[in-house]
Amino acid sequence: RALGKRFSIGTRFSSEGRRLVHAVDNVSLTVQRGETLGLVGESGCGKSTLARCLVRLYDITEGQLLFEGEDITGKSLAGLRPFRRRLQMVFQDPSASLNPRRRVGDLVAEPLRVHGKLGAKAIRERVVELFDLVGLLPDHVVRYPHEFSGGQRQRVGIARAIALNPDLVVLDEPVSALDVSVQAQIVNLLADLQEKLKLTYVFIAHDLSVVRQVSNRIAVMYLGSIVEEGPSEAVFSAPAHPYSQALISAVPVVETTPGGRRRRIILSGDVPSPLNPPTGCRFHPRCPVAQERCARERPALVEHKAGRKVACHFPTI
Ligand code: SF4
Ligand code: MG
């Protein structure tokens, strides 16, 4: 069957475990084939939970997850199998996600053994090919994860994720645990692979300069919900939601902008608990421009201009 044009990810995710109830709420996102959607927000805002919902590592109790128009929200493990190989995830900390007692060649071969139809020899060849794709040497296959640097371990994690030729790869803070000097190498590798293998990415990060560099579109999350979504450059140059404005104002501006430096907006207070979110607009206790209506009425994510959505009663757009 021909591949469809888009991945749709429907509304209102929440996860079953008590700890995670409403960690993600009322989110609606669509990821277009071939694009990189950047997902940003402070830690604890639900980015990682959403990421795991997207690849169905967590169950979704409300709403819908569509993959090329097919509803995979409630699919059983067996029903998910054909989708599993097409939806992959790269985790923040490769040391935690790679079994230390297994050779990295075996770790990369594992998805091929579980899902693929290749014989032992073909698997060995495919592993070497994957190592080459991610910039590792063929004789690295016999090493153990601890014999590698953080950057090399993340290359192993990426090789595992692309082993089955996925369509969508969710990258959860793929470079946050790495030295700054290594981050750019991994970002470049991901960009190369995206082009070569026609991958679609959801790229999660709290480092906005990385997200700006890699994303076509971005979605800004606050307390489990998307508060702004739009083309990356448009949102970065003129964020419309007060929370996005604060988040983006904290990024050091390298280029000299006409009119001088951007003023940094410091938010007061901590991120409230997602288990007991504020009434109305969830951002209102910290919003510098909140008005009385904001505490009462929850703003919906509304399209204000082509492709630009904002959830605010008083957006600057
Ligand atoms: Fe601020 Fe009100 Fe907009 Fe919420 S709805 S972001 S509180 S102005
Ligand atoms: Mg996280």
Per-residue pLDDT tens for 17-47? Answer: 444 444 566 677 788 888 999 999 887 777 8
Q: How confident is the model over 201-244, as pLDDT tens digits?
A: 999 988 888 899 999 999 999 988 899 999 999 999 999 999 99
Which residue is associated with the tokens 């190498």?
185
Q: Where are the domains of the chain?
A: 6-86+166-310
pTM of the model: 0.87
Bridge partners of residue 231, in order along the sequence: 217
Q: Could you give the CA distance from residue 23 to residue 9 in angstroms, rounded to a whole number?
A: 16
Helices (H) and strands (E) in the chain, counts: 11, 12
Q: Could you give the CA distance from residue 311 to residue 304 in angstroms, rounded to a whole number?
A: 10
SS3 assignment for 138-172: HHHHHCCHHHCCHHHHHHHHHHHHHCCCCCEEEEE
Q: Could you give the CA distance from residue 85 to residue 166 in angstroms, rounded to a whole number?
A: 6
Confidence label for 261 from pLDDT (cuts 50, 70 and 90): low
User: Is the distance from CB of 39 to CB of 219 less than 8 angstroms?
Assistant: yes
Is beta strand 36-40 parallel, antiparallel or unpaired with respect to 29-32?
unpaired
- Asked if residue 299 has its Cβ within 6 Å of ligand 1, the reply is yes
- Asked if residue 242 has its Cβ within 6 Å of ligand 1, the reply is yes
What the block records as the tokens of 196 is 């070569």
Q: Ligand 2 centre from 7 Cα, in Å? A: 22
**Of the candidates 49, 43, 32, 44, which has an alpha carbon nearest to the alpha carbon of residue 89?**
49
- Cβ-based neighbour number of residue 227 at 10 Å: 28
What the block records as the tokens of 285 is 């206790």
6-86+166-310: CATH topology is: Rossmann fold (3.40.50)
- Cβ-based neighbour number of residue 170 at 10 Å: 28
- Cβ-based neighbour number of residue 201 at 10 Å: 24
- Asked if residue 283 has its Cβ within 6 Å of ligand 1, the reply is yes
Is ipTM over 0.95?
Answer: yes
- Asked if residue 314 has its Cβ within 6 Å of ligand 1, the reply is yes
User: Is the distance from CB of 285 to CB of 270 less than 8 angstroms?
Assistant: no
